[in-house]
Structure 1
Amino acid sequence: MFSLSLLFNERPLHLRSAPRLNQHLLLFFLFLALPCGLLAQVNGTVFDADGYPLSGATVQWVGGGGTTVDAEGGFVLPAEAGRDRFTISYLGFADREFRVDTLQLPLQVVLEEAGTDLGEIQVTARDNGRAASLLSTHNIESVSSKELRKAPCCSLAESFENSPVVDLTYGDPLTGRREIQVLGLRGNYTQLTLEKRPMLDGLASPFALDLIPGPWVSGIQIGKGSGSLESGAQGMTGEINTELVKPTAGPGLYLNVFAGSQGRSEANVLANRQVGKSLWAGAALHGSFTENAHDFDSDGFKDMPDRRTAVGLFRLFRVGEGNWEGQWNVLGARERRSGGQQRVHDHGQPNLNPYTIEQDNQRLEVWGKTGYFGFQKPHQSIGVIYSGSYHKLNNLYGRKIHQGEQRSVYLNALYHTQMGNDQHQLSLGGTARMDDFAETFAGRDFSRNENTLGAYGEYTFRWEESREGADFRAFTAVLGLRADRHNLGGMQYSPRANLKYQPNEHSALRLSAGRGWRSPNLLVDNLNWLPSSREIVVGDPEVPPTANPGFLGLETAWNFGFNFTQDFHLAGREGQLVFDAFRTVFQQQIIVDAEQDFTTLRLYQLEGPSRANSLMLSTTYEILPLIDVKLAYKYTDVQQTYALQGLRELPLTARQRVLATVGYDGPRFKAHLNYQLVGEQRLIDFDGLPSSVFLDHPQRAPAFGLLAAQLTYVANAKTEFYVGGENLTNRQQRNAIIGAYEPFDGEYFDATQVYQPLFGTMLFAGVRWTLSE
């Protein structure tokens, strides 16, 4: 069942029904201004003694039905008439039984390990922090907070450094921006959500992943291909949903301090407390500071901009009393970056003023969730998510000024029920969104006003072999359709289908197909091109600008996918094998063309084919007690049609990638080694560059490997120390900036062709304190 609980930590929700629906609909609209999650009969979290969530643990009524624990450790157990006792069990841990009338919700459960001796064999179970789900109909990989601790993980972007699914590119020396790629395509085509609502999009999107600190994150769900339509149809290659630490399950007080050799220092603080019978409050603060004068290739430009970042979050949750639950959230952030030239070249730069880059981003965002459960029927639920945000940017690139303001409002209402029995589920919902962009660059107007109204419906059919003595088999189908009216792009229809067949308990076959669409942000989607000598040409320069000059058309694509997931046991130890095959085909796409000439960057709509093929094979296995190995191979082929060059390979996209990790997860010491091999990549054509411009770039970037390691010492249940290093192979790209000696007056100043790290080896150290539970 793909229920409304996906909006609230992907936990199953079953709500009761009132005698007359119209009365409760009235109550529902009265509660729209109240934030919330949804309530079921029994809810809580399940962890082991070290505080790691026991994803997949079984919560079951004695003699009745049950549910499983999600990647964050949370569960919601639907009510069943006549049931007042339930058990929580997990392989390798002692079972626990509870009576409902003795509980104070939400429940917080710690299971103790209990090895079972059969002769001389001990059976135990561990959570290694990352797993592809066999239970979900959609192709989802879950990442828990345990996996996030295997890297310094100072931002959400850096949490993907160990991921076989998500590729992290390298920050350019001028803006410091890092970008993700999924299924061979830029992160623009992956829908990013924060607790099932749009995450820091629009003007904030270039630095969205840097503004969510890793220690705030309790879990990440990475969906590949065509997923659910509940949050929208913007995900063409998938959806990445991030769940933050909840006040009801988070530590009383937590502190993380980090420092790195690149001049970076950081502190994170989380505090949570119950402030009333049904109220929990939480606060999170993040501050980071980066300052250095590193210029390893002596081109006069900083290899990384200085950064000053401050982010704060306040949360208030209401749970456990009455017929509704709610949450209020307020987030404020400001980030300033300063980079560019540190010294003017005395042997070639006519202008003696340094080429400086200043970026200032400010954001205020409020959001909430409200759910009502006054229905008598446990399978019915209704809820709403709403948010409002304001973002302001004020950037300087040499002499070019980039300014913008964005005001956005978002509302998403959903209803879930079943038809006849629990084999047939129905999900309905409606969305309204308004975005007002006032944006200028180098004196040109790129403003636009966009609004979208949409509705969706998803039908889920679920069947399992239930005959006594028969082998387990299961089939699930999710069929959905979403219709959105965009004021500038017109009506958009997004059909999607997800099928899953399980021939046994340890295998899953999935097929998916669906259409997605998005409205691109012409400037911030291509922020790395702004500090250059190129003139930005949008569309046909002969056509006069419209009332919305920042809008060049929508992007639309179909995605088709196949997945096979197999859990296996070898020599008494657990492992998992995953194979993915995906194809994305565009009908509309904004082409970023830097190869017609070196004086312009041309943005125009696709005319011709554009597609991306992606294959991935990965496996995880516990080769020795407490030692896990993960291996992944990925092949991508991405090509698009250019106006003059025709169908060509997309630049800066590696065809092949290899990931290999080894981790030791001991009670006191934890060690993790990560190796990535990045294959060859095409760079933009350099044939048009005159011989007077120094060029140290090959036409095809060579393959290279990166090595990272981390060692963690667990002093006690509340304190962890960690040290490590990144890029231990000391790979560095030299002379990444083309035309660095004449950034103002030269015609060929460009810093976009970055395919390797610019820094050498980087060392770091940190400490995590859980000062109170």
Structure 2
Amino acid sequence: MLFQPLLHLRPRLKRRHALPVLTAFFILTLLPSSDLYGQIQGQVFDSDDYPLTGATVQWIGGGGTTVDTEGNFTLADEDGQNTFRISYLGFATREFMTDTLTFPLTIVLTEEGTSLGQVEVTARDGGRAASLLNDRNIESINSKELRKAPCCSLAESFENSPVVDLTYGDPLTGRREIQMLGLRGNYTMLTLEKRPMLDGLASPFALDLIPGPWVEGIQIGKGSGSLESGANGLTGQINTELIKPPHGPKAYVNLFGSSQGRGEVNLMGNTKIGKTLWLGGSAHGSFTENKHDHDFDRFKDMPDRRTAVGLVRLFRQSTDNWEGQWNILGARDRRTGGQQDVHDHGQDVLDPYLIDQDNRRIEAWGKTGYYGFNKPWQSIGFIYSGSYHELNNRYGLKLHEGEQKSGYFNALYHTRIANDNHRLSFGGTARVDDFVEVFDETDYSRSENTIGAHGEYTYNWEESREGRDFKALTVILGLRADHHNLGGTQLSPRLNVKYNPTERSAVRLSMGRGWRSPNLLVDNLNWLPSSRTVTDRIVGAEAMDADNPGFRGLETAWNYGVNFTQDFFLGGREGQIIVDLFRTDFQNQLIVDAEQDIETLRIYQLDGKSFANSFMVSGNYEILPLIDIKLAYKYNDVRQTYDGEGLREAPLTPKHRALATLGYDGARFKAHLNYHWTGEQRLIDFDEIPDDIYVAHPQRSPAFGMLGINLTYVANAKTEFYAGGENLTNRTQRDAIIGAWSPFDGYFDATQVYQPLFQRRAYVGVRWTLE
């Protein structure tokens, strides 16, 4: 289905329906009424506006298709057929005659109760889906699942994800980082509505600058995925879709407060301002302020924080062959932390070690597209953006200052060969980044620009004739070629294969190469407030550009993956089992080496092997009506070659993780319990640290578990209250900062954080929505 990512921009018969979460935001390729061109297209929702993934759309006595994760379907025309039906378990079947329809189609199925001793058959949306129909290995999270998280940033949206791991941050910068397939978030491509999201100097706090209540859905693509947005997703891609003005609430208010001294407010409003124009605005304000110091080392457990983010969106939707949207985002994030007062014994410098981080950003982006071709399967769209980011940070006596100016343009064209079984997409991308960056009087300024092109061919085959078992095969071949002014030409081939042996199972294979341009300092921000001196050198043939002293070569890797997904029915209720196996092999990688000596942080390019093996098995099942359970186990084996020390286990990377969630999803009352278990992990070697510096850390951190709960009460159609607790097991790491008693003239390090620093905490909030 060539245009599935694009159909959400078509006008709806009923404006109340939500946009599909897998919207390809910047591909404006929309179709005219498709019954004139040999196919029926539409969308299928339930009465709560959730797409009915897997619903059957079939000609009476003929072939058919199924509804995808966004609610879209495309039914090919058949000679002699003019009536089709749409059916879904637990919902009333509907039939339609093509000569009575008005396009585009938006179809609502209503739940059908069957009275058999007061037994009612219903279908529910669990908020998270791994579709059997998606060509690639993608897990989708919608706003229902997001409301199970405590609040309120995009980072916290992964609290209940078995795929993405969230680290616990550090007491000096407050930075939290994701891990995927056992590797740091640097190797996962983050996109905001299919374009690069807050990267470069903004990347350390990108997940904190997108408020969770603004999010309509998240798509987590594992392994080698689409090349349309770029090739820098070495382990996968996480795309975030924001709520769109044409289908967003007229007004929305979210208030949040917690016992850690944190408060947040989120506001949203959307309105139609013309026949074809919709205007939307969102605002976020938050603060964190406390004097928490649970281990009495005089350093704040987390920095105080002030954050403000605003977004204005203008959408044009019409039937005159072109549509578009334009957006402006502004953000400021200010953090202050460090020592609250000087130790009265042992510290030679009487001034406290203070942390001050100030990040400011302005960004504008848009999309324009044309869908007026004579052939409805042809479409063209354009994505464009410009941004300016400024940072002014102080870590004790070290200053880190920088500016980044970026421009981005992407053009995309979709078509097909003969029929929808053979689809093609082409595109060209241009990007320029200008960095002015200085740290501790060393200049890391540089200019980077990239120009590239990509193409993908998709072959699709389905066996869905009456009397035959359903089978399907999809093969996607892709190639991207980019020229980076400093790293040279990079080729990124990709292969994705999906086979459905039955209608309830899928096997996926993926393979591909990716590359990224590293940001030497911000990628390793947690090391900047330390006593170490940052040094770097080149191992291998790569050379440093004289005009770009901050550049240390591109990072490249191959990723291979296998996925098996099985849906099942047990006791009349649905369940799903997912098994993933991935391997990432690096050819060029920046190795961050803190174990050669205690005075320097060495950053150099890989000379030897570096790989990550990741295995995950997860399952979810509705064990009782309205009660769901999810279990997941993950094993990661990550190893790197260190200069002079050979192949070693990467530090701060647990080999074993487990997740268990239990949820009750009632109409008025909802409850969700989650338990995270983290296995032991290697810490950096402490052998060289002088004996007079107290080190409470073991060489391998202990395993531990954390418990959290979220409770929601739906007062009415507009208002709901929520409350909960985090870290109910009260697991904390004491003496996380090494050398806290003498941060200026001794060994000082706050990077070895493997457990939470905050004790158990409670939160409350309220959401008010005017649809």
TM over 0.5: yes
Matched residues, number: 749
Question: Does the residue aligned with 2:503 lie in a helix, a strand or coil?
Answer: coil
Tell me what 1:384 maps to. 382
Q: Is the 8 A contact 1:182 1:190 kept in 2?
A: yes
Tell me what 1:755 maps to. 754
Q: Is the 8 A contact 2:457 2:478 kept in 1?
A: yes
- Give the direction of change, closer, same or farther, for the CA distance of 1:541–1:664 in structure 2 (3 Å limit): closer
Q: Is the 8 A contact 2:280 2:313 kept in 1?
A: yes
| Cα-to-partner distance string for 1:210-260 (whole Å, 9 max, x where unaligned) | 000000001111000000111110011000011100111111111111101
How big is the shift at 1:609?
0.2
Of 351, 358, 361, which residue of structure 1 is paired with 2:359? 361
Tell me what 1:198 maps to. 196
Instruction: State the AA in 2 paired with 1:625.
Output: P
Tell me what 1:140 maps to. 138
- Give the direction of change, closer, same or farther, for the CA distance of 1:130–1:481 in structure 2 (3 Å limit): same
Of 522, 529, 537, which residue of structure 2 is paired with 1:524? 522
Instruction: State the AA in 1 paired with 2:666.
Output: G
Tell me what 2:744 maps to. 744
- Give the direction of change, closer, same or farther, for the CA distance of 1:312–1:45 in structure 2 (3 Å limit): farther
Alpha-carbon distance in structure 2 between the residues aligned to 1:468 and 1:108 = 26
Equivalent runs, 1:500-579 vs 2, <5 Å? 500-539=498-537, 546-579=546-579
Tell me what 1:214 maps to. 212
Q: Is the 8 A contact 1:11 1:75 kept in 2?
A: no
Alpha-carbon distance in structure 1 between the residues aligned to 2:359 and 2:266 = 20
Of 149, 164, 167, which residue of structure 2 is paired with 1:166? 164
- Give the direction of change, closer, same or farther, for the CA distance of 1:529–1:45 in structure 2 (3 Å limit): farther
How big is the shift at 1:143?
0.6
1:273 equivalenced with 2:271 (yes/no) = yes
Tell me what 2:284 maps to. 286
| Cα-to-partner distance string for 1:374-410 (whole Å, 9 max, x where unaligned) | 1121211111111111111110101111011111111
- Range with bigger deviation, 112-121 or 52-61: 52-61
Alpha-carbon distance in structure 2 between the residues aligned to 1:494 and 1:741 = 49
How big is the shift at 1:320?
2.6
Alpha-carbon distance in structure 2 between the residues aligned to 1:347 and 1:182 = 43
Tell me what 2:257 maps to. 259
How big is the shift at 1:144?
0.9
Instruction: State the AA in 2 paired with 1:285.
Output: A
Question: Does the residue aligned with 1:226 lie in a helix, a strand or coil?
Answer: coil
Question: For structure 1, which runs of at least 5 residues remain unmatched after alignment?
Answer: 14-33
Tell me what 1:319 maps to. 317
Q: Is the 8 A contact 1:334 1:360 kept in 2?
A: yes
Question: Does the residue aligned with 2:290 lie in a helix, a strand or coil?
Answer: coil
Q: Is the 8 A contact 2:28 2:323 kept in 1?
A: yes
How big is the shift at 1:334?
0.6
| Cα-to-partner distance string for 1:710-763 (whole Å, 9 max, x where unaligned) | 1100111111101100100000000000000111111x1000000000001010
Equivalent runs, 1:22-33 vs 2, <5 Å? none
Question: Does the residue aligned with 2:91 lie in a helix, a strand or coil?
Answer: coil
Instruction: State the AA in 1 paired with 2:727.
Output: N
Tell me what 1:716 maps to. 716
- Give the direction of change, closer, same or farther, for the CA distance of 1:79–1:137 in structure 2 (3 Å limit): closer
| Cα-to-partner distance string for 1:572-593 (whole Å, 9 max, x where unaligned) | 1100000000000000000000
Instruction: State the AA in 1 paired with 2:535.
Output: V
Equivalent runs, 1:174-253 vs 2, <5 Å? 174-253=172-251
Tell me what 2:660 maps to. 660
Alpha-carbon distance in structure 1 between the residues aligned to 2:493 and 2:633 = 31
Of 470, 473, 494, which residue of structure 1 is paired with 2:471? 473
Question: Does the residue aligned with 2:755 lie in a helix, a strand or coil?
Answer: coil
Alpha-carbon distance in structure 1 between the residues aligned to 2:613 and 2:526 = 25
Tell me what 1:301 maps to. 299
Tell me what 1:18 maps to. none
How big is the shift at 1:39?
2.5
Alpha-carbon distance in structure 2 between the residues aligned to 1:386 and 1:532 = 39
How big is the shift at 1:344?
0.2
How big is the shift at 1:123?
2.4
How big is the shift at 1:764?
0.4
Tell me what 2:38 maps to. none
Q: Is the 8 A contact 1:5 1:38 kept in 2?
A: no
Instruction: State the AA in 1 paired with 2:29.
Output: L
- Give the direction of change, closer, same or farther, for the CA distance of 1:47–1:314 in structure 2 (3 Å limit): farther
How big is the shift at 1:560?
0.4
How big is the shift at 1:315?
0.8
| TM-score, structure 1 normalization | 0.92
Instruction: State the AA in 1 paired with 2:658.
Output: V
Instruction: State the AA in 1 paired with 2:577.
Output: L
Instruction: State the AA in 1 paired with 2:428.
Output: G
Question: Does the residue aligned with 1:116 lie in a helix, a strand or coil?
Answer: coil
Instruction: State the AA in 1 paired with 2:276.
Output: S
Alpha-carbon distance in structure 1 between the residues aligned to 2:527 and 2:562 = 35
Instruction: State the AA in 1 paired with 2:751.
Output: T
How big is the shift at 1:645?
1.3
Instruction: State the AA in 2 paired with 1:705.
Output: G
| TM-score, structure 2 normalization | 0.92
Tell me what 1:339 maps to. 337
- Range with bigger deviation, 42-51 or 706-715: 42-51
Tell me what 1:735 maps to. 735
Question: Does the residue aligned with 1:123 lie in a helix, a strand or coil?
Answer: coil
| Cα-to-partner distance string for 1:422-465 (whole Å, 9 max, x where unaligned) | 21111111111111111000111011101111111111111112
How big is the shift at 1:124?
1.6
Q: Is the 8 A contact 1:50 1:717 kept in 2?
A: no
Tell me what 2:30 maps to. 39
- Give the direction of change, closer, same or farther, for the CA distance of 1:35–1:594 in structure 2 (3 Å limit): closer
Tell me what 1:766 maps to. 765
1:605 equivalenced with 2:605 (yes/no) = yes
- Range with bigger deviation, 722-731 or 146-155: 146-155
Alpha-carbon distance in structure 1 between the residues aligned to 2:596 and 2:705 = 32
Equivalent runs, 1:39-188 vs 2, <5 Å? 39-41=30-32, 48-50=46-48, 52-57=50-55, 71=69, 75=72, 90-94=88-92, 111-117=109-115, 122-188=120-186
Tell me what 2:37 maps to. none
- Give the direction of change, closer, same or farther, for the CA distance of 1:325–1:11 in structure 2 (3 Å limit): closer
How big is the shift at 1:36?
7.7
Q: Is the 8 A contact 1:4 1:415 kept in 2?
A: no
Alpha-carbon distance in structure 2 between the residues aligned to 1:340 and 1:130 = 39
Instruction: State the AA in 2 paired with 1:651.
Output: P
- Give the direction of change, closer, same or farther, for the CA distance of 1:9–1:491 in structure 2 (3 Å limit): farther
Tell me what 2:412 maps to. 414
Instruction: State the AA in 2 paired with 1:38.
Output: T
Tell me what 1:636 maps to. 636
Alpha-carbon distance in structure 1 between the residues aligned to 2:539 and 2:274 = 62
- Range with bigger deviation, 509-518 or 115-124: 115-124
Alpha-carbon distance in structure 2 between the residues aligned to 1:721 and 1:138 = 37
Q: Is the 8 A contact 2:64 2:464 kept in 1?
A: no
| Cα-to-partner distance string for 1:524-565 (whole Å, 9 max, x where unaligned) | 000000000100001159998721011000000000000000
Tell me what 1:27 maps to. none
Question: Does the residue aligned with 1:633 lie in a helix, a strand or coil?
Answer: strand
Q: Is the 8 A contact 1:535 1:601 kept in 2?
A: yes
Question: For structure 2, which runs of at least 5 residues remain unmatched after alignment?
Answer: 13-24, 34-40
- Give the direction of change, closer, same or farther, for the CA distance of 1:438–1:98 in structure 2 (3 Å limit): farther
Alpha-carbon distance in structure 2 between the residues aligned to 1:104 and 1:271 = 30
- Give the direction of change, closer, same or farther, for the CA distance of 1:11–1:256 in structure 2 (3 Å limit): same
Q: Is the 8 A contact 1:357 1:396 kept in 2?
A: yes
Q: Is the 8 A contact 1:220 1:240 kept in 2?
A: yes
Alignment RMSD (CA, Å): 2.8
- Range with bigger deviation, 112-121 or 753-762: 112-121
Question: Does the residue aligned with 1:159 lie in a helix, a strand or coil?
Answer: helix
- Give the direction of change, closer, same or farther, for the CA distance of 1:86–1:149 in structure 2 (3 Å limit): farther
Alpha-carbon distance in structure 2 between the residues aligned to 1:36 and 1:236 = 23
- Range with bigger deviation, 84-93 or 499-508: 84-93
Instruction: State the AA in 1 paired with 2:261.
Output: G
1:707 equivalenced with 2:698 (yes/no) = no
1:457 equivalenced with 2:469 (yes/no) = no
Tell me what 1:23 maps to. none
Alpha-carbon distance in structure 1 between the residues aligned to 2:333 and 2:752 = 25
- Give the direction of change, closer, same or farther, for the CA distance of 1:65–1:200 in structure 2 (3 Å limit): farther
Instruction: State the AA in 2 paired with 1:175.
Output: T
| Cα-to-partner distance string for 1:95-122 (whole Å, 9 max, x where unaligned) | 5678999999988766542223467753
1:430 equivalenced with 2:421 (yes/no) = no
How big is the shift at 1:513?
0.5
Question: Does the residue aligned with 2:596 lie in a helix, a strand or coil?
Answer: coil
Percent of residue pairs identical:
70
